Structure 1
Amino acid sequence: MVVEEWNEDITLTYDTQTSQALPLFEINSDTSRKPQVSYHFNEKVSNYHYGVRHPMKPFRLMLTDHLVTSYGMNDKMDIYRPRPATETEIGAFHDDEYINFLKSVTPHNYKQFAASFAKFNIGDDCPIFDGLFDYSLIYAGASLDASRKLINGQSDIAINWSGGLHHAKKFEASGFCYVNDIVLAILNLLRYYPRVLYIDIDIHHGDGVQEAFYATDRVFTLSFHKYNGEYFPGTGNFDEIGVDRGKNFSLNVPLRDGIDDDSYIRLFKCVIESTLTCYRPEAIVLQCGADSLGGDRLGCFNLNIRAHGECVSIVKSYGLPLICVGGGGYTPRNVSRLWCYETSVCLDLTLDTKLPTSIPFLKFFGPDYSLHPNLGGKLDNKNTKKYLESIKIQVMERLRFLNGAPSVQLSEIPPDLSGFTLDGDEEMEDYRQDRFMDKKDDTMSGQDESRQGEMVD
Structure 2
Amino acid sequence: MNMHATPTSTAANLPGLSTTQSSSITPDECSHVRLGDSASPAAPELASSQTATSAPRGQTEAHSAESPSRDAVALSFGAGSSSQTQRKVVYFVDHSVTAIAYAEGHVMRPSRVRALHSLVHSLGLDEDAHMTVCHARPASAEEMGVFHRGAYLECLRRAPVICGNPLEESSLAFQKEFDVPFASRHGDCPLFPEIWSLVSSQAGASLACAEALIRGDAKVAMNWAGGMHHAAAAHASGFCFVNDIVLCIRRLLRHYQRVLYVDLDVHHGDGVEGAFYGNHRVMTLSIHQFGNGFFPGTGDFPSRDTADSFAINVPLPTRTGDAAYLLCFRTALASVVQCFDPEATVVQCGADTIAGDLIGRLCVTTLAHTQCVADVLALGLPTVLLGGGGYHVFHTTRCWAIHTATALGRTAAQLPLYVPRSDPYYMDYRRECVPHRPTLHVFLDPDVDNPLPLEDSLVYWRHFCHSIQWQMRAARLVRQRFYRTVSLSQQRRAVFLQRFASRGETEKYVVAGDNRKRTRPAPELLDEGSAMMS
TM-score by length of 2: 0.70
Shift of 1:361: 1.9
Match for residue 370 of structure 1 among 431, 439, 460: 439
Q: Deviations over 1:21-71 (max 9, x none)?
A: 675599999898521111011111211101122100112111111000111
- Deviation (angstroms), 1:19: 5.4
Q: Which of 352, 357, 364 is residue 291 of structure 1 equivalent to?
A: 352
Choose the corresponding residue for 1:264, options 306, 325, 334.
325
Conserved 8 A contact 2:58-2:124: no
SS of 1:370's equivalent in the other structure is coil
Q: 2:217 matched to 1:161?
A: no
> Pick from 87, 108, 125: which aligns with 1:73?
125
Letter in 2 for 1:388: W
Q: Which amino acid aligns with 2:145?
A: G
SS at match of 2:524: coil
- Does residue 414 of the first structure (1) align with residue 524 of the second (2)? yes
| Equivalent in the alignment of 2:272 | 209
- Structure 2: tracts of 5 or more residues without a match: 1-51, 62-73, 182-186, 487-517, 528-534
Q: Secondary structure at the match of 2:268?
A: coil
Choose from 109, 119, 123 the match for 2:165.
109
1:190-223 Cα offsets, whole Å, 9 max, x none, are 0000010101010100000011111311111111
Deviations 1:378-430 (Å, cap 9, x if unpaired)?
13417532222111221122111111784788x9851269xxxxxxxxxxxxx
Alignment size in residue pairs? 399
8 Å contact 1:292–1:303 — kept in the other structure?
yes
Counterpart of 1:94 (choices 134, 140, 148) is 148
RMSD (Å) for aligned C-alpha atoms: 2.7
- What is the DSSP-based 3-state SS (H/G/I as helix, E as strand, rest coil) of the residue aligned with 1:396? helix
SS of residue paired to 1:198: strand
- For residues 265 and 30 of structure 1, the distance between their equivalents in structure 2, rounded to whole angstroms, comes to 15
- Give the superposition deviation at 1:161: 0.6
Distance in structure 1 (CA, Å) of the matches to 2:57 and 2:318: 44
Deviations 1:315-365 (A, max 9, x none): 111101100101001000100000001111111113111111111121210
Looking at structure 2, the residues matched to 240 and 300 of structure 1 have their Cα atoms a distance apart, in angstroms, of 26
Give the unaligned 5+ runs of structure 1.
1-15, 418-457
Distance in 2, Cα, partners of 1:158 & 1:261: 26
Per the alignment, do residues 240 and 110 of structure 1 end up closer, same or farther by CA in structure 2, a change over 3 Å counting? Answer: farther
User: Are 1:241 and 1:249, in contact at CA under 8 Å, matched by a contact in 2?
Assistant: no
Verify the 8 A CA contact 1:260 1:303 in the aligned structure 2: yes
> Residues 241, 44 of structure 1: CA spacing in aligned structure 2 closer, same or farther, 3 A cutoff?
farther
For residues 399 and 149 of structure 1, the distance between their equivalents in structure 2, rounded to whole angstroms, comes to 31
- Give the share of equivalent positions with the same residue, in percent: 34
3-state SS of paired residue (1:348) = coil
Tell me how far apart the structure 1 counterparts of residues 417 and 290 of structure 2 sit (CA, whole Å): 33
Query: What amino acid is the match of 2:134?
Result: Y
Q: Contact 1:278/1:405 (CA < 8 Å) preserved in 2?
A: no
For the residue of structure 2 that corresponds to 1:307, the secondary structure is: helix
1:361 equivalenced with 2:425 (yes/no): yes
Alignment of 1:146-225 (within 5 A): 146-225=209-288
Rounded to whole Å, the distance in 1 between the matches of 2:110 and 2:459 is 39
Task: Tell me how far apart the structure 1 counterparts of residues 57 and 349 of structure 2 sit (CA, whole Å).
Answer: 31
Which amino acid in 2 is paired with 1:391?
A: F
Q: Is the 8 A contact 1:287 1:326 kept in 2?
A: yes
Query: 3-state DSSP class of the match of 2:346?
Result: strand
1:52 maps to 2:108:
no
Letter in structure 1 aligned against 2:107 = P
Name the CA shift for 1:127/1:242 in 2 (closer, same or farther; >3 Å): farther
The question of whether the paired residues in 2 share the 8 Å contact of 1:203 and 1:291 is answered with: yes
**Residue-by-residue CA offset, 1:259-297 (whole Å, 9 max, x unaligned):** 101111111111101100000010000000000110100
Structure 2 distance, partners of 1:397, 1:364, is: 48
Tell me whether 1:42 sits opposite 2:42 in the alignment: no
Task: Name the SS of the counterpart of 1:117 in structure 2.
Answer: helix
Q: TM-score, normalised by structure 1?
A: 0.82
Q: Which moved more, 1:69-78 or 1:372-381?
A: 372-381
Retained in 2: the 8 A contact 1:240–1:251?
no
Q: SS where residue 167 of structure 2 aligns?
A: helix
Equivalent position of 1:379 in the other structure: 450
Counterpart residue number, 2:195 = 132
| Structure 2 match to 1:440 | none
State whether structure 2 residue 231 is matched by structure 1 residue 231.
Answer: no
One-letter identity of the residue aligned with 2:91: Y
Take 2:322 and 2:422, find their aligned partners in 1: how far apart are those partners?
31
Pairs within 5 Å for 1:294-305:
294-305=355-366
Q: Does 1:20 align with 2:56?
A: yes
What SS does the aligned partner of 1:133 have? helix
The answer to which of 22-31 and 82-91 deviates more is 22-31
Matched with 1:431 is: none
CA contact (8 A) 2:58 2:123 kept: no
CA distance in 1, matches of 2:195, 2:54: 44
Instruction: Give 1:116 shift.
Output: 2.5
Which residue of the partner structure matches residue 436 of structure 1?
A: none
Cα separation, 2, equivalents of 1:17 and 1:289: 32
Is the CA contact 1:160–1:324 (under 8 Å) kept in the aligned structure 2? yes
Letter in 2 for 1:148: E
Show CA shifts across 1:104-142 (max 9, x none): 123213223112222211241100113011111011111
Which of 445, 449, 468 is the equivalent residue of 1:395? 468
- Classify the secondary structure of the residue corresponding to 1:349: coil
Larger Rg: 2
**Mapped contact 1:241–1:251 kept (Cα < 8 A):** no
Task: Supply the distance in 2 between the matched residues of 1:180 and 1:241 (Cα, whole angstroms).
Answer: 29
Match of 1:339 among 400, 408, 421: 400
Residue 317 (1) aligns with residue 364 (2): no
Take 1:158 and 1:190, find their aligned partners in 2: how far apart are those partners?
16
Matches of 1:247 and 1:29, distance apart in 2 = 36
Q: Which residue of 1 aligns with 2:207?
A: 144
Given that 1:40 and 1:159 are in contact with CA atoms closer than 8 Å, whether structure 2 keeps it comes out as yes
CA drift of 1:232 comes to: 0.6
Aligned to 2:113: 61
- For each residue in 1:52-101, what CA deviation from the matched residue of structure 2 results, as whole angstroms up to 9, or x when unmatched? 22100112111111000111101220111111111111011100000001
